[in-house]
Amino acid sequence: MPQEAVAGSLANRVATQLQDAIVSGALDLGQALSEDSIADALDVSRTPVRQALQLLQARGLVQIRPKAGTYVFEPTVEQIAELTEFRVTLERQAALWAFERSRAASAKTLAQVVETMEQAIADRDMRAYGRADTAFHEVFFKGCDNSYLWNSYTFNFAQVAALRTHLAAYTEAEPLRSFEDHKAIRDIFDSGQASELEPILAPHILRTRENYTATLRQRQERLSESRIEQLRRALDPTSFSPKRGLESAPQREETQ
Amino acid sequence: MPQEAVAGSLANRVATQLQDAIVSGALDLGQALSEDSIADALDVSRTPVRQALQLLQARGLVQIRPKAGTYVFEPTVEQIAELTEFRVTLERQAALWAFERSRAASAKTLAQVVETMEQAIADRDMRAYGRADTAFHEVFFKGCDNSYLWNSYTFNFAQVAALRTHLAAYTEAEPLRSFEDHKAIRDIFDSGQASELEPILAPHILRTRENYTATLRQRQERLSESRIEQLRRALDPTSFSPKRGLESAPQREETQ
DNA sequence: GGCACCCTTCTTGTATACAAGATTTGCGTC
DNA sequence: GACGCAAATCTTGTATACAAGAAGGGTGCC
């Protein structure tokens, strides 16, 4: 993995490490983070940790409750819907501008990324496909030549990346469907018209919403069931039955 | 002005005060800010000041140069162009959603704001008109029912508000032209169609860009001229003539 | 047994002291 | 007089100590 040379101040390094941990899934959604523990774990003082956490709060990755605690963000179904909607707005515009302003360069990069995806699918390496997916959509924001749009992207879409890791439950068919979209977009950049972008891009993004929402619902059910189980066990140990409601539920071991 | 009760932590209060000072024009664009001076002036320690400055940096209102200093932002012509472009993208979407989702409430508020504007014009109170202008555009973001769009608005448009104060040079005709747009938009919300919004809103916003850019260019000329004057005075005192090139040029005294 | 209250503990908020880098100013030299 | 170098000063970066509020657990009362 990257972890490359790490840039600048301690605070930035801490922020990067924390963001990586959240995006990669090493830290669970909703998990409590204490400034002290992080400072100890990373062998720095609380000052840069606080700075980092404030930055991550601005990016929507953590929530700071004054005097109470700091927690990894935990999206609701509504938030996911709003984020996706917002993403469509920004990305549609970015793609359009990239098409108008950096078409040749963007087309070239998109083609390369699509090849990477092809390889990832052949290898059945879903992690590599996810990385390529991120790279694909980044092309628009890099090529659109508007720093505010780019900032908005990096700011809000750390959440998107985290959701992908935590909530993406690719079905067998899903990556192929998504891959078709990617190829279509590549072709439009190669030899199509700008007006063809929207009818592909918008549904492409909105489809991820269903995916995340479904997973989140499952996750919430699982959590509440597990809470019920715990309660039952605690309150009425004699009648406790070991039968589990969800057999296929991946057993999430406690975060490392 | 507000200054109302001020919320929460010292850091937030400091951030609010600083943002107000920048937006209102009390602090000049590009002016140097030292954490120490601010802390002394506001009678707090450097810690909350640092926090506040970092927040303001995220909002694009100040620029922190590591170990060197912190400065009020100073936009370039390109930045203004990008910001305006970005604003069109966001505001067009916000207006559309507000129209679809909160049409009645939005229409009512817009009508009220337009009345306020009418009064402001009658009173020739440009400051009141500016406030109403801000309120007018806020209606879209409040009514669009998407918290990410709203966040993006509050985050990026502190700059817009600051630009309005520092760079808006309303000509005689400009506010009337702008007012016509506002009335037209009000009417569309009252009894029009969504598709009519864009042809009015986009040019309406883009027009501000020309205004700001022109003022900025003048300002830059003025500054560089004044620098030349200063140099001339310093380097060649014998031939220095007290005649000033620009009589109304604000003499930049050193930071408070 | 259930409930309210208090106290303990843990969390973040703020102040201060020190460290390290960037900038500027002044001096010395050419 | 102009240029280069070095020291002094000013800036932010980091560490630590203390304060204040929130949350949870335990105890006493009803």
Q: Judge: B82–A8 Cβ closer than 8 Å, yes or no.
A: no
Sheet with strand B32-33: strands edge to edge: B32-33, B69-72, B62-65
CA dihedral (B229, B234, B240, B241) positive or negative:
positive
- Tens of pLDDT, residues A164-221: 888 876 665 667 788 999 999 999 999 999 999 999 999 999 988 888 888 888 887 7
Q: What percent of chain B has pLDDT over 90?
A: 62
CATH class, B77-215 region: mainly alpha
Residues of A with CB below 8 A from B9's CB? 66
Cα separation, A209 vs A76, whole angstroms = 12
**Shortest alpha-carbon distance between residue B146 and chain A (Å):** 6
Nearest nucleotide to B39 by CA–C1' distance? C15
End-to-end CA distance of chain B: 21
Whether the CB-CB separation of A174 and A97 falls below 8 Å is answered with: no
Amino acid type, B221: E
- Local structure of residue A245 (DSSP, 8 states): S
Which of A52-56, B45-49, B129-133, B182-186 is least confident?
A: B129-133
User: What CATH number does domain B10-72 carry, 1.10.260.40, 3.30.1330.40, 3.40.1280.10, 1.10.10.10?
Assistant: 1.10.10.10
Q: For residue A247, what are the contacts with CB-CB under 8 A and spacing of at least 6?
A: none
CA dihedral (A4, B57, B65, A11) positive or negative:
negative
Residues of B with CB below 8 A from A66's CB? 8-9
Give the pLDDT band (50/70/90) at residue B11. Answer: very high
With left for phi above 0 and alpha for psi between -120 and 50, is residue A29 left, alpha or beta? beta
CATH topology agreement for domains A10-72 and A77-214: no
Bases on strand D under 7 Å from any protein CB: 10-17, 20-23
Q: What is the pLDDT of residue B216?
A: 87
Cα separation, B133 vs B18, whole angstroms = 22
Domain ranges of chain B: 10-72, 77-215
Nearest nucleotide to A62 by CA–C1' distance? C12
Six-digit token string for A77: 């179904």
Q: What is the pLDDT of residue A236?
A: 47
CA-nearest of B14, B19, B72 to B45 is: B14
3-state class (DSSP) for residue B68: coil
**Shortest alpha-carbon distance between residue A105 and chain B (Å):** 21
Report the distance from CA of residue A61 to the C1' of nucleotide C4 in Å, as an integer. 38
Angle between helices B147-167 and B126-143 (to 10 degrees): 170
CA dihedral A152→A83→B8→B59, nearest 10 degrees, is: 10
- Tens of pLDDT, residues B88-143: 999 999 999 999 999 999 999 999 999 999 999 899 888 888 889 889 999 999 99
A24, A33, A133, A150 from A136: Cα distances, Å: 18, 32, 5, 14
In this structure, whether the domain defined by A77-214 belongs to CATH 1.20.120.530 is answered with: yes
Residues of B with CB below 8 A from A9's CB? 66
Cα-atom radius of gyration of chain A, to the nearest Å? 21
Give the pLDDT band (50/70/90) at residue B226. Answer: low
Q: What is the number of alpha carbons within 13 Å of residue B124 lying toward its C-beta? A: 3
Q: Strand C: which residues have Cβ below 7 Å from it?
A: A 32-37, 46-47, 50, 64-70; B 9-11, 44-48, 51, 65-69
CA-nearest of A41, A38, A75, A31 to A53 is: A38
Q: What is the pLDDT of residue A182?
A: 95
Whether the CB-CB separation of A54 and B55 falls below 8 Å is answered with: yes
Whether the CB-CB separation of B186 and B110 falls below 8 Å is answered with: yes
If 0-12 CB within 10 Å is exposed, 13-18 middle and 19+ buried, where does residue A90 land?
Answer: buried
Which portions of chain A are predicted below pLDDT 50? 1-5, 231, 234-256
A70, B86, B208 from B204: Cα distances, Å: 42, 14, 7
Give the pLDDT band (50/70/90) at residue B228. Answer: low
Cα separation, B140 vs B133, whole angstroms = 12
Q: Is the pLDDT of residue B212 over 50?
A: yes
**Nearest 5°: phi and psi at B91?**
-75, -35
Q: Judge: A152–B86 Cβ closer than 8 Å, yes or no.
A: yes
**Shortest alpha-carbon distance between residue A89 and chain B (Å):** 7
Report the distance from CA of residue B56 to the C1' of nucleotide C8 in Å, as an integer. 38
Residues of A with CB below 8 A from B90's CB? 89
Give the pLDDT band (50/70/90) at residue B147. Answer: very high
Q: Judge: A66–B146 Cβ closer than 8 Å, yes or no.
A: no
